[in-house]
Homo-oligomer: A and B are copies of this chain.
């Protein structure tokens, strides 16, 4: 390692804490005397191929700390999914700038990019150290107890459902909240942590790990509505039928696909509106309301888990330490060591790249429409300190006079 130049970039959907990881890399790297420059690529891998670099070595530590506490990707992000030719171009740029450490903060697609770049460097005999730093609100990276960004998004979802439940209790009806998560239901399941009293919502939770049947759904809603006089429902945007067809395609005529070949599930209220329409027309319930949490759940400024902030910072720091003191490329993973404590390891890239974790069966109730206590214990410490709490009046009922 001779040039001492480091490159860090951010890929995929932003999170509330992804800047913590970028700042973790930057500040930790500056502690190593062999590091001369720390570059940040603008808009992820696209910024690498375009050579759009910021010199982060010229940032003040004070501003870096303020940026760390700011949500979304301060370097910008991208949805580009590099193929091998794209990765070759990445590698060419890294070599031209004599960059010998490459840190990419992202999800499983980003891990795959790091894997290919790492292989090309090895094949070319170029001394590049490539490290993938985990990030995704979907919590769908294998090898990790959980991923940075998920706890803060989960906290938003839990707080949103805690509030929606209170609103629904004040003005009873059916409330459908649609939550992000294409394949993994972790974020939707986090709605369960917004529940305090036994009759609180969410009364029903629909995850992409279970087949969604409209008739079964309507029967569930009817039963809950009859039992509680109201019903709060959490639905993953990724719910699908037995054939794997997303429920949203039942409605959407024209489906936008992104470069990854994925159907657009976010940024539209169609799924919530479809389900509300079914509940109104089929069950004859009048007050039915649907919200799609959309980008609020990953971008809202001012709803963050302090545990998530700390860990996102640490995976950035550890990535640098693994790069400097280790002898292998890899993906930083979070391991749970206690209730609650974590440690970090470096896994080979091919054990993480391009793979998708979904919710384990032990986290999903027998009914398929709730989570288990194992999931509650898993998630609660991640939400961090200062979770807002909901309280009820306990006042005694007054005897009726006229209607006696």
Contacts from A to B (Cβ < 8 Å): 10, 13-14, 39-40, 43, 50-59, 63, 66-67, 69-79, 92-93, 96-97, 159-160, 162-164, 166-167, 169-171, 175, 194, 256, 266-270, 272-273, 276, 280, 286, 288-296, 298-303, 387-398, 400-403
> In whole angstroms, how far apart are the Cα atoms of A280 and B291 in the complex?
22
From known contacts A67-B393, A76-B170, A167-B298, infer whether A55 and B293 are also in contact, taking CB-CB under 8 Å: no
A391 touches B63 (CB 8 A): yes
Q: 11 interchain pairs (CB within 8 A)?
A: A43-B170, A53-B397, A54-B398, A58-B396, A59-B394, A66-B389, A74-B391, A93-B401, A163-B302, A268-B289, A273-B273
* A389 CB, min distance to chain B CBs, angstroms: 8
> In whole angstroms, how far apart are the Cα atoms of A13 and B170 in the complex?
9
A393 touches B63 (CB 8 A): yes
Cβ–Cβ < 8 Å partners of A390 in chain B: 70-71, 301
A71-B163, A97-B398, A167-B299 known, 15 other contacts, Cβ within 8 Å = A10-B170, A14-B170, A43-B170, A52-B397, A56-B393, A77-B170, A159-B301, A160-B299, A163-B301, A166-B299, A268-B272, A269-B270, A269-B292, A292-B292, A293-B296
Cβ–Cβ < 8 Å partners of A14 in chain B: 166-167, 170-171
* A70 CB, min distance to chain B CBs, angstroms: 5
Cβ–Cβ < 8 Å partners of A280 in chain B: 256
Cβ–Cβ < 8 Å partners of A163 in chain B: 71-72, 295-296, 299-302
B391 touches A72 (CB 8 A): no
A266 touches B295 (CB 8 A): no
From known contacts A167-B299, A301-B390, infer whether A39 and B71 are also in contact, taking CB-CB under 8 Å: no
> In whole angstroms, how far apart are the Cα atoms of A164 and B298 in the complex?
9
